[in-house]
Chain A
Amino acid sequence: MITDFVQNCIDGIMVGSGYSLLALGFTLVFGVLKRLNLSYGPSIMLGAYVGTWSFLNIADNIWLVLLTTICATVVIGIYVEQLCFRAVSKETTIASMVSSFAIWMQLEEIALHLLPERTYPFPAFFDSGLLEFGPFTARSEYLFMFVVMLLLLLILHAFIYRTRIGLAIRAYSDHPSASAYMGIDGSSVLFLAFIIVSIIGGIAGFLILSADSQITPFFGLWATFKGLIAMMLGGIGSLSGAVLGGLILGVIEANAFWYGDPVIRDISSFMLLFTMLIIRPGGIFGHKIEIHQKIASERV
């Protein structure tokens, strides 16, 4: 019984590392822009479709697939940034959210025209293997994804908190108009944020799909749901929160699947989100930030 539970948690953490990767991108865009980019998941999906297309039509080379997936996701990310966020006024949050939803539909259409079948194979990064740790097991491709996720978290953290450009991004994210008086160019910050987020998205899409070995047009919707739920659980705008949210979501889903039913798995993730929104609306880390700000405003 306890062995099953621990194994479920290990499986959940492995799968959850993919959710964490998606949530990192969502939280970074939301943290910087304070606006929701609904087309992030579909951007990753279309990027991965271009990767699959190169696999089917150019060469059977996994590195080419990785490169084309990341590059295509970056190009789509720039397209989304120009159309939904740069062109739309900063004050109209709803307008940019709605336009990102419109882009979502557009990207799905493009994907269906690029590769009209419902399902396509996505090449595995390396041969799948089961690693044993005493009574427990983990799939090598998921373990690899977990390690990459931790590495990306460390790199992102260092980038945001230990570089001059990271300081500029944080200043813009905290107070865009005040950062303008420091000479920080908001447009460049946005552009850079979208490039970083798209690279993370490209890596996330490649690793998740390479572990699943297939891609469908529904991947965009799936990535949006999982990434958003993980971000909300961890706390919007927090890098560590995004990672923790993804891992918790994975663990809950794995246990719901094992002890309940495959249908329960998805319901459990939505129930978890609703419960969290009622008890701690700011998420695990966001709640702490909210209380901190409340105390500070009372002091003034």
Chain B
Amino acid sequence: MFDLRSISKSFGSLKALDQLDLQLKPKIITGLIGPNGSGKTTLINIMTGIYAPDSGSIYFHQQNLTGESAECFAQKSIARTFQNIRLFKRMTVMENIMASLVTKEKNKRNNWFSYPFTRNKFNLNKAHEVLEIMNLKDQRNLFAEELPLPLRRKLEIARALVAEPEVILLDEPAGGMTPSETFEMAELINLHVAPGRTIVLIEHKMDLISKICNHLVVLNHGEKIVEGETHEVLSHKKVLEAYIGI
């Protein structure tokens, strides 16, 4: 479904990605790991239209999306979260979630001037459902900036989830969390985010990776060094070399 062919990206003299090929398998969780600066975030920035690759092509369901805008990628049912959380801080939790549905209005009777919180019961119910799943119902009227870090991360996932995307790219969803919060996040991803979806997960916490990823891709210096089943990849010689230098 997601097919990246010979993707290269440089920032000045720094080569972030070098002739990278990646085919995402549908409806499984692919972990993307590698040391800092290995090109993980650059890769998902390319997969969501933030950066255009210097060379190579991006296909999604055989459609060439190379060079398209982030808005276009979002319209193609590709959602993401960020390592540095990007919420609408001055909007409430509920408004953050509804903002995700603002361009996905299916009912033609609801025009741009209709009130999204009363006119579209379908979207409203979806938003409440996601709030319930992510345990954010009690915080729905708080401003996003009032939430502590773990809830902010949950809200970012909720915002991605409510649009019912086919693919979700999660960039360090447990970043800055305690072990118990990380465990809870793993449960949430396994139970509510992953089923029926294609997930790409960037994470440094190997316990989270081994707990939820079926497939693993390892990057180092912008190149794919290993790819395969999670348990096999984690014990691969090249991975151990890249991570702990043995």
A residues neighboring B (CB under 8 Å): 159, 162-165, 167-168, 170-171, 174-175, 177-186, 289, 292-293, 296-297, 299-300
Contacts and interface: CB of A to CB of B under 8 A. Distances in A.
Range class of the B interface residue count: 35 or more
B69 interface: yes
A170 B143 contact: no
* Binding site secondary structure of chain A: helix
Contacts of A170: 88, 90-91, 95, 99
Contacts of B73: 181
B148 interface: yes
Contacts of A164: 102, 105, 110-116
Contacts of A168: 99, 102-103
A180 B74 contact: yes
A183 B78 CA distance: 10
A22 to B, nearest CB: 24
A185 B71 contact: yes
B148 A165 contact: no
Given A293-B89, A293-B145, A299-B146, A167 B71 contact: no
A183 B143 contact: no
A293 to B, nearest CB: 6
Interface in B75-117: 75, 79-80, 82, 86-91, 95, 98-100, 102-105, 110-116
Contacts of B71: 180, 183-186
A175 B88 contact: yes
14 contacts: A163-B113, A164-B102, A164-B114, A177-B50, A180-B74, A182-B163, A183-B71, A183-B103, A184-B99, A186-B71, A293-B89, A296-B143, A296-B146, A300-B152
Contacts of B91: 170-171, 174
Given A170-B91, A184-B71, A293-B145, A178 B86 contact: yes
A183 B89 contact: no
A177 B115 contact: no
A167 B143 contact: no
Interface centre among B89, B99, B100, B115 (most CB of A within 10 A): B99
B118 to A, nearest CB: 9
Contact of B95 (A167, A178, A300): A167
B226 interface: no
B105 A183 contact: no
A189 to B, nearest CB: 11
